[in-house]
Amino acid sequence: MKILVPVKRVIDANVKVRVKSDQSGVELANIKMAMNPFCEIAVEAALRMREAGQADEVIVVSAGVSQCHETLRTGLAMGADRAILIEDDQDLEPLVVAKLLKAVCEREEPGLVLLGKQAIDGDNNQTGQMLSALLGWSNATFASSIEVNDDHFKVTRELDSGLESVTANRPSVITVDLRLNEPRYASLPNIMKAKKKPMDKLTAADLGVDSSPRLQVVKVEEPPARQAGIKVSSAEELVDKLRNEAKVI
């Protein structure tokens, strides 16, 4: 089985995000970028399947600016076999990404597409579901456990009310949640080896996809600053303020 793992380049999760002065978006200049944490979990899941003899090849794919090759090299250093970079300077929307991935799937014919349930920048949680619909493949989301069988995958999903087990027939698109695994760190020898692993470069035009945006960002604003808290001297004063000022009781 061949596994395709889409990965996204995002602002590092440990970096404070700042809005541009013209409010056209968030500041990306001279900002540390990294692989989306949910994508790291998907790469780790695919590698474990290959190590268990359940997969033959793991391919990482990313769509976006040319710097996305750094994110792909991270995936290769973790252990992926090869990479595909779809270069495009536009801010790609989930539907466009899903169409690009559909075209890649038609070329590569994987048995499984593993991707993060969402990216920490847009938080859209859309690409996996859209890709499944475009391909006509089965889909399971928010996976916290994946069991590989001969003709299907058994996926445990995390819900607000508990856990749900579903069966997804092959081929399938599965989006992963945080508690699926703990991603490995790339060792120095593997980082060096990653530089020699193959990386194919394509464009949206090569895949026959129009990447023109359909949405327009009107304005990006910082969230309102929280007011400072106050100290109360007694439980009675606390209850009084909750009742008469905050009006929550």
- Cα–Cα distance measured from residue 246 to residue 237, given in angstroms and rounded to the nearest whole number: 12
| pLDDT (tens digit per residue) in 62-83 | 999 999 999 999 999 999 999 9
Query: What is the pairing mode between strands 152-159 and 138-148?
Result: antiparallel
Angle at 129 between CA 106 and CA 184, to 5 degrees: 85
Give the residues across from 112 on adjacent strands: 3, 172
Domain at 2-244: CATH architecture: 3-Layer(aba) Sandwich (3.40)
Q: What local confidence, expressed as pLDDT, does residue 249 receive?
A: 83
Structural contact between residues 144 and 163, judged by C-beta atoms closer than 8 angstroms: yes
Cα separation, 25 vs 11, in Å, equals 13
Tokens at residue 110, please?
Answer: 């994987």
Q: What is the dihedral of CA 197, 54, 49, 117, to 10 degrees?
A: 100
Q: Identify the three-state secondary structure at position 152.
A: strand
State residue 176's pLDDT score.
95
Number of C-beta neighbours around residue 206 at 10 A: 13
Give the Cα separation of 29 and 227 in Å (integer).
30
Among residues 228, 194, 241, 226, which one has the least CA distance to residue 77?
194
Give the residue extent of every domain in the chain.
2-244
Q: Give the type of residue at 37.
A: P
Q: Are strands 199-203 and 82-87 parallel, antiparallel or unpaired?
A: parallel
Q: pLDDT digits over 172-227, tens only? A: 999 999 989 999 998 899 999 999 999 999 999 999 999 988 888 888 888 888 88
For the entire predicted model, the pTM comes to 0.86
Q: Which residues pair with 92 in a beta bridge?
A: none
**Hey, what's the torsion of the CAs at 142, 148, 151, 154, to 10 degrees?**
-40
Rounded CA separation 67/49 (Å): 28
Helix 94-108 / helix 127-135 crossing angle, nearest 10 deg: 50
Instruction: For 19-77, write each residue's pLDDT tens digit.
Output: 888 888 888 888 899 999 999 999 999 999 999 999 999 999 999 999 999 999 999 99
